Structure 1
Amino acid sequence: MDCVLCREDGGEVLWQDETLRVVLAGEPEYPGLCRVIWSAHVAEFSEMAATDRERVMRVVVAVECAMRRILQPLKVNLASLGNQVPHVHWHVIPRYSNDAHFPLPIWAPRQRTVSEVLLASRRAQATLLRDAVRHEVEQALA
């Protein structure tokens, strides 16, 4: 089996330990979109031990808290799909009323064009997530 999340980080690593990692996905239209990725190859969340699921969710919540504090989005979407990449991972997605797909999911048809100026501003702001995510995750797992 060739799993992209087993062989690659999946983005810029913001925090990691032996069980999971948080990455900044580098999605050009969604600056700040993070992924929380379980290190071992597991396809379904229900296949994991309860303590491991709890650990993942503590980190997902920590990433959401950092995102809300730093990016101040209108909403944060959480998604665990795995249809294209059957490896346990959660998307933590900052949403704004003027993003390209709002109010639909980011994988739905585009609703509008977003100016490059606005996206550049959001990309600059997303660089501040590095320290914030690290801090929130360490607090959540302490």
Structure 2
Amino acid sequence: MSFCLHPRLAADSAYVGDFALCQLRLAGADFGPWLLLIPRVSGIEEIHHLSPSDQQTLWQESALVASCLESLFAPDKLNIAAIGNLVPQLHLHHVARFRDDAVWPNPIWGHLQATPRSPSQQTALVSQFREALVTQGLTVLS
């Protein structure tokens, strides 16, 4: 069975690139920098369902994404979560948080009423992340 991205993830985010294990996507919500890491492994809903090797790779790729968010945006806090209540496919949210954001200090889940980011802003952020992460092993499929 090959990797198939959940339709909701596809609809709500933009492709940034691929690491060795995960696809990286930018959430479409107009709320700070918000990235998703999705392991390209079929049928996986929880981190502990990955092989031990894939678990290690996931954490390494997550650390790369977190470091990128810190270096580009200097957030006050990073929120990293694998919730999956609405989308069962395993995906990790990486959200840069700021003390002056709309829902600080609450978690964004259940508190945020976000509108879609404009297409030009989405394209600019995708390019910014690609540029920052290509030296870290991100590949971009055309």
- Band the TM-score falls in, shorter-chain normalisation: 0.7 to 0.9
Output the TM-score relative to the length of structure 1. Answer: 0.75
The structural deviation recorded for 1:109 is 2.8
**CA–CA distance in structure 2, aligned partners of residues 51 and 76 of structure 1:** 25
C-alpha deviations, 1:13-34, integer Å up to 9, x for none?
2221563201111211x23200
Output the TM-score relative to the length of structure 2. Answer: 0.75
- Paired AA for residue 135 in structure 1: T
Q: Flag structure 2 segments of 5+ consecutive residues without an equivalent.
A: none
Going from structure 1 to structure 2, the CA distance change for 1:70 and 1:84 (only over 3 Å counts) comes to same
Going from structure 1 to structure 2, the CA distance change for 1:89 and 1:130 (only over 3 Å counts) comes to same
The answer to whether the Cα contact below 8 Å between 1:22 and 1:37 also exists between their aligned partners in 2 is yes
CA RMSD of aligned residues (A): 2.8
Q: Is 1:131 the equivalent of 2:131?
A: yes
The answer to whether the Cα contact below 8 Å between 1:63 and 1:136 also exists between their aligned partners in 2 is no
Q: Match of 2:49?
A: 47
- Paired AA for residue 33 in structure 2: G
Q: Which structure has the higher relative contact order (CA within 8 Å, separation 6+)?
A: 2
Partner secondary structure for residue 65 of structure 1:
helix
Q: Match of 2:37?
A: 36
Q: Match of 1:116?
A: none
- Structure 1 runs of 4+ with >4 Å offset: none
Aligned with 1:67 (options 65, 69, 72): 69
**What is the number of equivalent residue pairs in this alignment?**
126
Q: Match of 2:24?
A: 22
The structural deviation recorded for 1:80 is 0.5
Going from structure 1 to structure 2, the CA distance change for 1:77 and 1:17 (only over 3 Å counts) comes to closer
Aligned with 1:102 (options 100, 104, 118): 104
The answer to whether the Cα contact below 8 Å between 1:79 and 1:90 also exists between their aligned partners in 2 is yes
Going from structure 1 to structure 2, the CA distance change for 1:57 and 1:69 (only over 3 Å counts) comes to same
The answer to whether the Cα contact below 8 Å between 1:15 and 1:23 also exists between their aligned partners in 2 is yes
